[in-house]
A and B are shown apart, each in its own frame.
Chain A
Amino acid sequence: MDFLRPLTWAEALEMKAERPDATPIQGGTDVMVEINLDKGRPTALLDLAAVAELAEWTRDNGTVRLGAGVSYTRLIAELAGDLPGLAQASRTVGSPQIRNRGTVAGNLGAASPAGDSHPPLLATGAEVEAESVRGSRMIAITDFYRGVKRNALEPDELIRAVRIPVATGPQYFSKIGTRNAMVIAVSSFAIAFDGRRVGTGIGSAAPTPRRAPEAEAFLESALDWSGPLDADVARRFGELVRDAAAPIDDVRGTRDYRLHSLAVMARRTLTWAWEDHLRCA
């Protein structure tokens, strides 16, 4: 196994162009687990930890540009106000040690349907900034996930940053695990209000993370933005979120439980968001 260690972003892109087979590694919280458990051995590792510019984030025109090397710990400490949904999800990632190492971009690179970042990224309409020696492009988050552990990156591309709109309304994330921490999601859900638009994200309940477009459309039309939340609307929203999922049975949970829990989480997160909405309105 070759170990490539670029010191600059330009160098990283050149190495990736030369070795498209190389697996990028940042915090190692996914890649090293796979290697240690013998679930395949990459021919080369491209270690991005030394590329300093990746560890920065900026805010511009209502969008946070989150460098691919910004850890969950920093996101939680520095961006909980701008990106509350993503910060909530980040708090549920692994342990403090894992949050010190792990990154949102790493979650995207691994593209596991159970990754905790995905639902809030979907709910907020984030974009992935992909770059190669050929140039840079923006990939809408809904186009990014292509299958179980597959994403839309070209073999020579690396994730430079994730662009996430600064929150303009309430955002919530909810996750079910088989214990209370250090656990992979059985199912997860995120909701984000942006003005009178509603975003959703479903995790761990389909081959890829996905939105629930019908649930969003229903809510946007059914909500009376000034009054209390209609219990029937909340219930129907939960059902539509549930109907958008396509989960399987696996060691962590059953298909039925995942469907059921999504409906409950959707209803509850909507209720929390609605309370915030009314308080702020």
Chain B
Amino acid sequence: MTTVEQRTGLVGQGVDRVDGPLKVTGAARYPNDFSYPDLAYAALVRSTVAAGRISRLDTAAALASPGVLAVITHQNAPRLERAPDSGLTAPPPPLQDDRITFHGQYVAVVVADSAEEATAAARRVEAEYEPAEPILDMGDPRAEWITDPWGTDSSRGDLKGALASAEVRFEATYTTAANSNSPMGLFSTVAVWDGDDLTIHDSTQWPSYLRKAIAQVFSLPEGNVRVLCPYVGGAFGAGLRAWPHIMLAALAARTVGRPVKLVLTRPEMFTGVGHRTASEQCVKLGATRDGRLVALAHESTTPLQIEGTQFEPCTAGSASAYACPNVITRDRQVRLNIPWCNFMRAPGEAQGNFALESAMDELAYELGMDPLELRLRNYSEDNPRLELPWSSKSLRECYEVGAERFGWSRRSPEPGSMRDGDSLIGYGVAGVSFFWYQEPCEARATLRKDGTAVVRSAVTDIGTGTYTVMTQLSAECLGLDMAHVTFELGDSDLPAGAAAGGSGLTAAVGSAVQAACRNLVRAFLDTVRDDPTSPLQGCTIDEVSVGGGRIHRIDAPESGEAYADILAAHGIGELSADGSSTPNDPKVAGMAPSGAFAARFVEVRVDPDLGLMQVARVVSVVDAGRILNEKTATSQIMGGTVGGIGMAMLEEIVTDPGTGRVANATFGDYLIPVNADIPDMEVAFVGRPDRFNSVGVKGVGEIGLVGIGAAIANAVHHATGRRVRSLPITIEQLF
């Protein structure tokens, strides 16, 4: 695929975030920063049982509280429609009946003149329940099981036979805890009605979908709804669904006839915007004595909200991770009375990789082989599941560069053999891939008479750097300085955008931006096609290049014309063009779309007397295809690594076994890493532009989290000889 860009070398440079100054000066407006005259505030009331029915709901005291405008419950809420299924199914609309399916479900919303009055009145709503025995444990015989929920299970060869005849067999069960996305920014919605038009400021990762969902819930034409989210205070996947609290904010605003602001509390963030599921996984490996995998089985069971949906394939990555002829991967879900499971940075892969890469490490010790060597020996040159060549794969280089930078050769193989004073030292490695999911995306590029451009798409920047990299890409595609380009996003009235999720946004919006910019250059060429005074007269797109605010002929770079001059000469105020992107088809392309690959090397230090573990170093070498901005990409890997350390060492949603209540729904009790837990992190990128999309990227948003759990557990084993097969790894497991 040819493009007009790649001239200035702007793309790839680690330029500072264009939104950085706005953020550090507080000028960037997050959803809860928006205010309106006559703004009212909403507070939520949540169920205190996990299953059953509401038997009595007394709102009299709340209604009589100072400042209260309305109390909405299932007894007086209007009928709401269910949002469309996008693959990211919205939970059912709230307050439609008396059924309770999890502890923390909304049973009322209180609207008042101030946030304090709403909160105070919400405490006065009296709810009584006819509780049912909640299903909270995956072992509960009443629980409904779903096998192969997404059709992703895979099977090739003869697993049973290969396992039975393998020279070396290994089998183990691994578990991971439920994790909370816990972005810093509390999710907030400000809903404003103007007749039948609804404007929503929200912490969403996907404004185009949220508009569609909210329109359907309120039976409105889609064009009546506008979703605004220029800045989002983090999300890690939590902003991908149309959550009930968003619907309640809009409902509250319509009910009281005033704009309404709803800011979730930190405890509500634990029950209201999803979480990463816990997992139980079994891995079976068969190998030859010299370390060739002959059999690989990976089976996973994850919980699911009793009425929910969630795409969380923990084992899918194992089908293509290694060159192994006999493979089975299977995922199952079990319906429980727990809050909604949802996407959290590297869903499925974060859990699945822990099991597979721990098992590979264990097999390496069984074989007496260097764990790195075992991985290289089973390297898959082609995608073994699709039997197609990868669109790009430099994982071998990741291993080689990582081992060199980390100093893997200094590792002495025997567990417990490396020591520094009171500390045992352990080295661990994990190989990683994270697939990306591209969705259709549109963009529009506009050049104005002053020679500046604005490029727009209804996507979001959840802190990843989308504003910055798309400004870079647009500037390069149009031959402008970055200072002359503005990228606008976070508004559903802009051309329909893809979700900031699945590590696929940059591929989706980047391809659309490239197309829009190319079409815009075409539009300029069309304008001068019959202009005898223009040096570009009659030129086709393939005959020109761009730079310095002008289009010029490739064969005669001095022959060209500035955008602004063309517009002025033809009396045009501005010129716009649209572009769109759709995902490539692997069969048509004749290649297997590669996710990003990475090798993670970790050093831990364990105080064996006290069971205290510290991650001392992390070296990550990543093949993410083309890197659009080395600085923001590095930040993504580092941020993901911090998340991985949290998953490995600290993070666990504790659910009270009797009641289904989340018992640690605060940052005092649900521990996430602090600075003192985080070591120096070295990040390097290798590889080449990927061939599967025109931008050449593979996505860096999620891969940074994957593999840290396994690399840490493997390092702990190397340090201490103790194999920990459950995350998080706690003091008690090590002393």
Interface pairs (18), CB distance under 8 Å: A37-B666, A95-B674, A178-B650, A179-B671, A179-B673, A179-B677, A180-B674, A181-B674, A181-B676, A182-B674, A184-B668, A251-B663, A251-B669, A254-B732, A257-B611, A257-B731, A261-B610, A264-B609
Q: Chain B residue with minimal CB distance to A176?
A: B610
Q: What residues of chain B lie closer than 8 Å to A181, measured between beta carbons?
A: 674-677
- By the criterion of a CB under 8 Å from any partner CB, how many residues of chain A are at the interface? 19
Which B residues are CB-close (under 8 A) to A95?
Answer: 674
**B611, B612, B614, B731: which has the most chain A beta carbons within 10 Å?**
B731
A251–B669 Cα distance when bound, in Å, is 9
Interface assignment of A205: CB less than 8 Å from any CB of chain B: no
In contact, A183 and B671 (Cβ under 8 angstroms):
yes
What's the Cα separation between A134 and B655 when bound, in Å?
49
Q: Could you tell me if A251 and B654 are in contact, using CB atoms closer than 8 angstroms? A: yes
In this assembly, does B735 line the interface, its C-beta being within 8 Å of a C-beta of chain A? yes
User: At the interface, yes or no: B664 with Cβ under 8 Å from chain A?
Assistant: yes
Please state if A260 and B735 are interface contacts (CB–CB under 8 Å).
Answer: yes
B654: min CB distance to chain A, Å: 7
CA of A211 to CA of B460, assembled, Å: 57
Known: A179-B673, A180-B674. A264 touches B610 (CB 8 A): yes
Bound-state CA distance A252–B672 (Å) is: 14
Q: Do A180 and B676 form a contact, CB below 8 Å, given A253-B731, A257-B735?
A: yes
A180 touches B671 (CB 8 A): no
**Could you tell me the distance between the alpha carbons of A180 and B669 in the complex, rounded to whole angstroms?**
14
CA distance A31 to B529 in the complex (A): 75
Question: Of A180, A254, A260, which is in contact with the most chain B CB atoms at under 10 Å from its CB?
Answer: A180
Instruction: Compute how far the CA of A181 lies from the CA of B671 in the bound complex, rounded to whole angstroms.
Output: 10
Query: How far does the Cβ of B288 sit from chain A's closest Cβ, in whole Å?
Result: 42
Nearest A residue (CB) for B677: A180
In the assembled complex, the CB of A29 is this many whole angstroms from the nearest CB of chain B, namely 11
A51-110: which residues lie under 8 A (CB-CB) from chain B?
95
B614 and A180 contact, CB distance less than 8 A: yes
Shortest CB-to-CB span from A202 to chain B, Å, is: 16
Minimum CB–CB distance from B630 to chain A (whole Å) comes to: 29
B residues within 8 Å of A by Cβ? Answer: 609-612, 614, 649-650, 654, 663-664, 666, 668-669, 671, 673-677, 730-732, 735
In the complex, the chain A residue whose C-beta lies closest to that of B730 is: A178
Chain B residue with minimal CB distance to A95?
A: B674
Q: How far is the CA of A280 from the CA of B675 in the complex (A)?
A: 35
Q: Given A95-B674, A264-B610, 17 other A-B contacts at CB below 8 A?
A: A37-B666, A178-B650, A178-B730, A179-B650, A179-B674, A180-B674, A180-B677, A182-B674, A184-B668, A251-B663, A251-B664, A253-B731, A253-B732, A254-B732, A257-B611, A257-B731, A261-B735
Kindly report which residue of chain A lies nearest to residue B664, judged by CB atoms: A251
- Please indicate the chain B residues that have their CB under 8 angstroms from the CB of A257 in the complex: 611, 731-732, 735
- Point out the residues of chain A lying under 8 angstroms from B730, CB to CB: 178
The residues in A between 169 and 192 inclusive whose CB is less than 8 angstroms from any CB of B are: 176, 178-184, 186
Chain B residues with CB under 8 A of A231: none
Shortest Cβ distance from A33 into B: residue: B668
If A186-B731, A251-B654 touch, whether A178 touches B671 (CB-CB below 8 Å) is yes
Point out the residue from B609, B614, B731 that lies within 8 Å of A178, measured CB to CB. Answer: B731
Provide the residues of chain B in CB contact with A184, threshold 8 Å: 668
Which chain B residue has the least Cβ–Cβ distance from A260? B735
| In the complex, residue of chain A having the shortest beta-carbon distance to the beta carbon of B666 | A37
CA distance A181 to B299 in the complex (A): 37
Task: Find chain A residues with CB under 8 A from B735 CB.
Answer: 257, 260-261
Q: Which residue of A lies closest to B669 (CB)?
A: A251
Q: List chain A residues, Cβ under 8 A from B612.
A: 176
Nearest-Cβ distance from residue A175 to partner chain B, whole angstroms: 11
For A33, the chain B residues whose CB sits under 8 A away are 668
* Most chain A beta-carbon contacts within 10 A, residue among B609, B610, B675, B730: B610
In chain A, positions 211-265 with a C-beta closer than 8 Å to chain B are: 251, 253-254, 257, 260-261, 264
- A265 vs B731: C-alpha distance when bound (angstroms): 15
Bound form: Cα–Cα A101–B731 in Å: 30
Give Cα distance in the complex from A37 to B654, angstroms: 17
Chain A residue numbers with a CB within 8 Å of B611 are 257
Question: CA of A253 to CA of B735 in the docked complex: distance in angstroms?
Answer: 12
B667 to chain A, nearest CB (A): 9
A246–B517 Cα gap in the complex (Å)?
A: 71
CB distance from A234 to the nearest CB of B (A): 13
- Chain A residue numbers with a CB within 8 Å of B673 are 179
Q: Note all chain A residues with C-beta closer than 8 A to B669.
A: 251
User: Interface digits, A153-183 against B, CB 8 Å rule (1 contact, 0 not)?
Assistant: 0000000000000000000000010111111
**Within the assembled complex, what's the spacing in Å between the Cα atoms of A195 and B649?**
42
A81 and B182 alpha carbons, distance in the complex (Å): 40
Closest Cβ–Cβ distance, residue B651 to chain A (whole Å):
10
Q: How far is the CB of A36 from chain B (nearest CB, A)?
A: 9
Q: Shortest Cβ distance from B4 into chain A, in angstroms? A: 51
Chain B residues closer than 8 Å to A180, beta-carbon distance: 614, 674, 676-677
Q: Residue of B at shortest CB range from A38?
A: B123
Cα distance A183–B670 when bound, in Å?
A: 11
- Cα(A176)–Cα(B673), bound, Å: 16
A76 and B664 alpha carbons, distance in the complex (Å) = 31
Q: Give min CB distance, A43 to chain B, whole Å.
A: 16
For B646, give the chain A residue with the smallest CB separation. A179
How far apart are the CA atoms of A231 and B731 in the complex, in Å? Answer: 26
B654: chain A residues within 8 A (beta carbon) = 251
Assembly CA distance A184 to B673 (angstroms): 14
List B contacts of A186 (CB < 8 A): 731
A1 nearest CB across to chain B (Å): 11
The proximity string for A residues 259-277 relative to B, scoring 1 for CB distances below 8 Å and 0 otherwise, is 0110010000000000000
Shortest distance from the beta carbon of B611 to any chain A beta carbon, whole Å: 7
The 7 lowest CB-CB distance pairs between A and B, nearest first, are A180-B676, A181-B676, A181-B674, A264-B609, A180-B677, A182-B674, A179-B671
Closest-CB distance, B730 to chain A (whole angstroms): 8
* Bound-complex Cα distance A57 to B612 (A): 37
Which residues of B lie under 8 Å from residue A183 when comparing CB positions? Answer: 671
Q: Which of A179, A253, A264 has the most CB of B within 10 A?
A: A179
> Cβ of B650: which chain A residues have Cβ within 8 Å of it?
178-179
Query: How near does chain B come to A178, taking the closest CB pair, in angstroms?
Result: 6
A180 to B672, CA, bound (A): 11
Shortest CB–CB separation between residue A186 and chain B, in angstroms? 7
Which residues of chain A (25-49) have a CB below 8 Å from chain B? Answer: 33, 37
CA distance in complex: A180, B645 (Å): 13
In chain B, what residue has the closest Cβ to A267? B609
Which residues from chain B contact A254 at a C-beta distance below 8 Å? 732
Closest to A265 in B: B610
- Within 8 Å CB of B676, what residues of A? 179-181
**What are the residues of chain B within 8 A of A261 when measuring CB–CB?**
610, 735
Q: When chains A and B are docked, how far (Å) is the Cα of A178 from the Cα of B671?
A: 8
Kindly state the separation between the CA atoms of A119 and B654 in the bound complex, as whole angstroms: 30
**Smallest Cβ distance from B268 to chain A, in angstroms?**
13
Q: How far is the CB of B652 from the nearest CB of chain A, in Å?
A: 10
**Cβ contacts under 8 Å, A182 to chain B:** 674
- Closest residue of chain B to A36 (Cβ to Cβ) is B666
Which residue of the partner chain A has the closest CB to B654?
A251
A183 and B612 CA atoms in complex are apart in Å by 14
Q: Which residue of A lies closest to B671 (CB)?
A: A179
Give the Cβ gap from B422 to chain A, nearest Cβ, in Å.
Answer: 9
Docked CA distance A95–B610 (Å): 24
Nearest residue (CB) in A for B649 is: A179
A180 to B649, CA, bound (A): 11
**Who on chain B is nearest to A187 by CB?**
B610
Cα–Cα distance between A264 and B612 once the two chains are bound (Å)? 12
Q: Given the complex of chains A and B, what is the CA–CA distance between A13 and B62 in angstroms?
A: 38
Which residues in B have their C-beta under 8 angstroms from that of A176? 610, 612, 731
A21 to B675, CA, bound (A): 40
Q: How many angstroms from the CA of A183 to the CA of B614 in the assembled complex? A: 15
Chain A neighbourhood of B609, CB < 8 A: 264
CB distance from A33 to the nearest CB of B (A): 7
Complex formed: what's the CA distance from A179 to B646 in Å? 10
Distance (whole angstroms) from the CB of B68 to the closest CB of chain A: 19
In the complex, A261 Cα to B664 Cα: how many Å? 25
Kindly provide the distance from the CB of A232 to the nearest chain B CB, expressed in whole angstroms: 17
